[in-house]
Amino acid sequence: MSLEQARAVADAVLYEGYLLYPYRASATKNQLRWQFGVLMPPSYAEEPSSCVTQLLVEPALHSTVHLRVRFLQVQARTVEVDGTAVPSTVVGDTEWTSWDEAVEREVDAVLRFADLLAGDNTVPFSIDGGVETTALSDTVSLVRRRCPLAGELRVRADALPGPYGASRLTVTVTNMSGWAGSSRDEALRHALIAAHTVMSVSPGRFVSMLDPPEWAKPAVAECRCERTWPVLVGDDDTVLSSPIILYDHPAIAAESAGELFDGTEIDEILTLRTMALTDEEKREARATDPRAARLVDRVDTMPPELLDRLHGAVRYLRSVSGDQPWWDPGADTTVDPDTDSVTVGGVRVARGSRVRLRPGMRRADAQDMFLTGREATVQAVLHDVDGELHVAVTVDGDLDPAYGRFRYFSTEEVEPL
């Protein structure tokens, strides 16, 4: 059950970067693909063929470890006209494009923890290749080819000294596929793409590698992870070892309407940009990949209320009292930015006061140095949640105060006039 709960996040990892906006095969950014979690065949020395995860686990007597290695197998889709490969062609009203798709693969292993403590446990696996041909017309065919893959999962556990009963678990995934050549594109067809491992222990729990308890910090510091990043997923008995950096307990946002394959972008912006594609660009995206076609169709038919949900969400709010959140201006009646004041150099500074700016040398915005010596008008004196005071000002000759766009300085950075 824990493994299944982790699937939504693991699926997002599996397809991260699979196809980038504008989702067309002709786009420059889609010419060099497969950047995350790529385990190449050993003969391709320019990129690694294995990944290693080390993490701490607190097992119980007779614990069992369930590991699920997940990756994509490249599937070369070729459009052939009279037996000759072509970049693309049109059959009826549909365009078909030659393109590398991918097929999801999973390898499961269930191991007794007692066996892991005894030494290396090796689980070999293989994935069949194949050729599938689909006739699109009398002269046009779609041919999908997959190369066979071979790999190895190696697992061991080493008990840690001390009274805590923890062990260091080491999981190594290696691509053992045979291949000879020098082309990256060809090597990718023998690679494990977006490889990651979901692991659970029953009974028992994993130790957070990001926020370990005090007793575990020295052992965590000694753990070695290569091309992986283990984080807790769901309950503490499940870990996702990801090729992408995540926090513990990651989750798919409830507002997300579906996969966009580009987690570095904001869903709303990417959705709006996809909506703005021309009909010709959308036609080419649909011809590139079935997943791109579903994405474009979903965006094209997205109701306004779903788009509104993407327009920002605030989480993890704590309340001062009742249902009023702490950040609401009315939550604390003891402060009022319009009337509050602060004493600077023996002078009362409040809304309407005139000041000269003396930005500090360690401000986050380096361009504030250009404001040194400029005169400004105070628009508000603000208290933050840590009890610090800040002065909001409008600089002479800058934006009209009516816009409500202010610059903020500490009390040490303003000089009363």
Q: Please say whether the dihedral angle defined by the alpha carbons of residues 42, 45, 51 and 54, taken in this order, is positive or negative.
A: positive
pTM for the predicted model, two decimal places: 0.74
**115-166 pLDDT, tens digit each:** 999 999 999 999 999 999 999 999 999 999 999 999 999 999 999 998 888 9
**166-197 pLDDT, tens digit each:** 999 999 999 999 998 889 999 999 999 999 99
pLDDT of residue 415: 94
Q: What is the DSSP string of 8-71?
A: HHHHHHHTTTSS-TT--TTSGGGTS---SS-B--TT-TTS-SEEEEEEEEEEEEEEEEEEEEEE
CA 35 to chain centre: 13
Residue from 195, 193, 223 nearest 207 by CA: 223
When pLDDT is averaged across residues 385-406 and rounded to a whole number, the result is 84
**79-97 pLDDT, tens digit each:** 999 999 999 999 988 899 9
pLDDT band, residue 324 (cuts 50/70/90) = low
Give alpha helix (H) positions in 56-182.
113-117
Residue from 271, 297, 285, 289 nearest 23 by CA: 285
When pLDDT is averaged across residues 348-359 and rounded to a whole number, the result is 94
103 within 8 A of 72, measured Cβ to Cβ: yes
Looking at the DSSP bridge assignments, the partners of residue 68 are: 108, 198
Q: Domains of the chain, with CATH numbers?
A: 2-252 (no CATH), 321-416 (2.30.30)
pLDDT at 319 over 50: no
Q: Which helix (H) or strand (E) holds 407?
A: strand 407-410
Look up residue 316 and give its DSSP letter. Answer: S
pLDDT of residue 29: 87
Measured CA to CA, the distance from residue 332 to residue 160 in angstroms comes to 51
Residue from 130, 126, 127 nearest 146 by CA: 130
Q: How many residues does the chain have?
A: 417
Looking at the DSSP bridge assignments, the partners of residue 242 are: 229
**292-318 pLDDT, tens digit each:** 999 999 999 988 888 887 776 666 554
pLDDT band, residue 379 (cuts 50/70/90) = very high
Output the six-digit token pair for 69. Answer: 């290695």
User: Average pLDDT of the chain?
Assistant: 89
